[in-house]
């Protein structure tokens, strides 16, 4: 394999460790290290992490080609450390991911999202009402409010649960509270090899923490399966309203354990990831009053005073809201650093470099979204960069917030719809504000990106236009 990569630049390789020593840093600093390596060696960097060959590819055109290449349709070895919680399915890229995703697709297509829109509107309005009752001039982390209602929306739409049923699902409140910690825990296992040594894993308390997380996940997912099986037996199912859990149960293709694993995947991907995006959009409004005013006026022009139900057609007309949404997922993409396994030899950089079978790709989406070669003032929030005039002159390969190809984010359409509905209903009821500059807020970069100290803002009720 070394013969294949001799021409790809990279840091000095040490015996046994390779380049692993330079990655013995905090998880939040590892993307910074990748950025430094790319600045030093270019858009293609060779790294040996012990005996595993990893190749960073930062050229956007090659990233697109690789993500859509059937020779690279397998997640990298780091994802196996998520299997403790999500099993060998869609998220970790196990052998069953294609079948499991094919079954789930029908619950995430545009037709399904339209069916979910009644519930999404309902919970967006209820979130907006909660924010409208907040004490004015008091700063708070809006994520904690947002995630409560993205959870309710996800349970209603994706899981098929009523609010009364949700109250009786064991472990759910703990899973919602711990989701970010669970993914940080998995990311630490991916990146800090010494933490995985059995003695250290036990003495450090990580084994007991893993058991705690897994117990709650198992309780929650088992209860959801039981509730949906009982509902199917009692009421049957209607194709157009089938949730993803129903589809898995009715397919007969999955064991109960496999369904449990996919439930936690879809649950967290739908409620936690969507909550982070929605919180980011609201924070942009709080820090950029001009864009808050533009979007509010747009909402009023399109909806008038009646917005109890906002349709997909209404959302499509909101071009300013769309620009803010796209800037939010550019600035804070769901997948910061993607790893893929190369299943067959493939070339990059116009054939100059050969990537051998068995190597792993590291695709730094967050860094591509911040590359000054492609983005003017990339570390600033500027929704106008997504205006039709500005977008048409930009390489389309440099915007990859939900990945690409067969393993892209299955929930991207659901997330966009729910986030935009939340933005509309919140802005109709409250004005948002925040201190300082959003660009100065420290980022926590792990599997995804979030603000280290939360999404802090203030609200005050709107005095007219509602």
Beta bridge partners of 430: 461
**What pLDDT score was predicted for residue 52?**
87
| 4 pLDDT higher than 90 | no
- The answer on pLDDT for 294 being more than 50 is yes
Ordered alpha helix ranges (H), 305-372: 312-316, 319-331, 365-368
Decide if 417 contacts 119 (C-beta within 8 A).
no
pLDDT digits (tens, 9 = 90+) for 50-62: 888 999 999 999 9
pLDDT confidence tier of residue 194, bands split at 50, 70 and 90: confident
**Encoded tokens for 178:** 């711990």
Report in angstroms the alpha-carbon separations of 353 from 210, 349, 458: 41, 6, 51
Whether the pLDDT of residue 109 is over 90: the answer is: no
pLDDT band at 6 (very low <50, low <70, confident <90, very high): low
Helix axes 172-191, 206-235, angle to 10 degrees: 130
**Alpha carbons 112 and 461: distance in angstroms, whole number:** 33
- With a threshold of 0.85, does the pTM exceed it? yes
Q: What is the largest CA-CA distance in the chain?
A: 69
pLDDT level of residue 32 (50, 70, 90 thresholds) = confident
Mean local confidence (pLDDT), 315-320: 96
The domain ranges of the chain are 2-461
SS (H, E, C) 23-55: HCCCHHHHHHHHHHHHHHHCCEEEEEECCEEEE
214 pLDDT exceeds 50? Answer: yes
Render pLDDT for 344-401 as a digit per residue (tens, 0 to 9): 999 999 999 999 999 999 999 999 999 999 999 999 999 999 999 999 889 989 999 9
Does 466 have pLDDT greater than 50?
A: no
pLDDT (tens digit, 9 = 90+) per residue, 176-188? 999 989 988 988 8
pLDDT for the residue numbered 190:
83
Q: Are 295 and 425 in contact (CB under 8 A)?
A: no
pLDDT of residue 2 exceeding 80, the answer is no
Half-sphere exposure of 457 (CA within 13 A, CB side): 27
Given the DSSP bridges, would you call strands 360-363 and 52-57 parallel, antiparallel or unpaired?
Answer: parallel
Radius of gyration from C-alpha coordinates of the chain: 22
- 59-68, 169-178, 445-454: segment of lowest average pLDDT: 445-454
| Percent of the chain predicted with pLDDT > 70 | 97
Residue range 281-301: mean pLDDT, rounded: 97
Residue 236: which residues within 8 A CB-CB, separation 6 or more? Answer: none
| Predicted confidence band of residue 49 (pLDDT cuts 50, 70, 90) | confident
CATH numeric code, 2-461: 1.10.630.10
190/127: higher pLDDT: 127
Mean pLDDT of the chain: 91
Provide the percentage of residues in the chain whose pLDDT is more than 90: 72
Residue 464's pLDDT is: 58
In whole angstroms, what is the distance from residue 215 CA to residue 221 CA? 10
Choose the weakest-confidence range: 8-22, 128-142, 389-403.
8-22
Averaged pLDDT, 188-215: 89
The CA-based dihedral angle spanning residues 55, 58, 59, 60, taken in that order and rounded to the nearest 10 degrees: 120
116/125 Cα distance (integer angstroms): 14
At residue 406, the pLDDT reads 85
pLDDT at 149: 97
Burial of 195 (0-12, 13-18, 19+ CB in 10 A): middle
Question: Could you give the C-alpha distances from 258 to 3, 48, 95, 185, 458, in angstroms and in order?
Answer: 40, 34, 12, 22, 42
Per-residue pLDDT reduced to its tens digit, 237-266: 887 778 999 999 999 999 999 999 999 999
Over range 225-235, report the average pLDDT: 95
Residue 3 pLDDT grade (very low, low, confident, very high; cuts 50, 70, 90): very low
> How are beta strands 449-451 and 360-363 bridged, if at all?
unpaired
């Amino acid at each position: 394999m070394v013969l294949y990569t001799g021409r790809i630049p990279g840091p000095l390789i040490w015996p046994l460790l390779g380049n692993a020593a330079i990655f013995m840093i905090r998880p939040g600093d590892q993307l910074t290290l990748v950025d430094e390596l790319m600045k030093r060696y270019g858009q293609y960097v060779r790294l040996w992490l012990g005996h595993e060959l990893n190749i960073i590819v930062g050229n956007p055109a090659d990233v697109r080609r690789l993500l859509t290449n059937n020779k690279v349709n397998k997640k990298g070895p780091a994802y196996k450390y998520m299997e403790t919680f999500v099993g060998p399915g869609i998220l970790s890229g196990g052998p069953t991911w294609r079948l499991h995703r094919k079954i789930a697709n029908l619950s995430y297509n545009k037709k399904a999202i339209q069916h979910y829109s009644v519930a999404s509107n309902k919970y967006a309005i209820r979130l907006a009402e909660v924010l409208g009752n907040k004490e004015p001039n008091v700063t708070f982390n809006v994520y904690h409010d947002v995630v409560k209602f993205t959870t309710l929306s996800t349970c209603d739409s994706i899981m098929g649960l009523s609010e009364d049923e949700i109250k009786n699902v064991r472990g759910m409140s703990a899973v919602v509270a711990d989701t970010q910690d669970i993914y940080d825990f998995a990311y630490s296992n991916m990146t800090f090899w010494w933490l995985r040594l059995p003695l250290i894993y036990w003495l450090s308390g990580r084994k007991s923490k893993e058991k705690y997380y897994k117990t709650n996940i198992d309780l929650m997912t088992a209860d959801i399966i039981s509730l949906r099986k009982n509902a199917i037996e009692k009421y049957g199912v209607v194709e157009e309203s089938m949730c993803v859990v129903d589809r898995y149960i009715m397919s007969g293709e999955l064991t109960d354990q496999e369904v449990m694993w996919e439930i936690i995947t879809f649950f967290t991907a739908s409620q936690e990831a969507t909550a982070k995006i929605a919180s980011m959009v609201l924070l942009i409004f709080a820090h950029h009053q001009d864009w808050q005013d533009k979007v509010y006026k747009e909402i009023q022009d399109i909806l008038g005073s009646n917005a109890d139900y906002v349709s997909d057609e209404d959302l499509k007309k909101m071009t300013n809201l769309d620009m803010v949404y796209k800037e939010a997922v550019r600035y804070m993409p769901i997948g910061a650093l993607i790893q893929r396994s190369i299943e067959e030899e493939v070339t990059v950089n116009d054939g100059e470099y050969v990537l051998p079978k068995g190597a792993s790709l590291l695709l730094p989406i967050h860094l591509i979204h911040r590359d000054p070669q492609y983005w003017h003032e990339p570390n600033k929030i500027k929704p106008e960069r997504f205006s039709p005039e500005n977008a048409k002159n930009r390489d389309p390969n440099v915007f990859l917030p939900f990945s690409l190809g067969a393993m892209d984010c299955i929930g991207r359409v659901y997330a966009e719809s729910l986030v935009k509905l939340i933005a509309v209903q919140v802005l109709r009821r409250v004005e948002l504000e925040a201190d300082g500059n959003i660009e100065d807020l420290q980022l926590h970069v792990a599997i995804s990106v979030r603000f280290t100290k939360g999404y802090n803002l203030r609200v005050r009720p709107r005095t007219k236009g509602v």
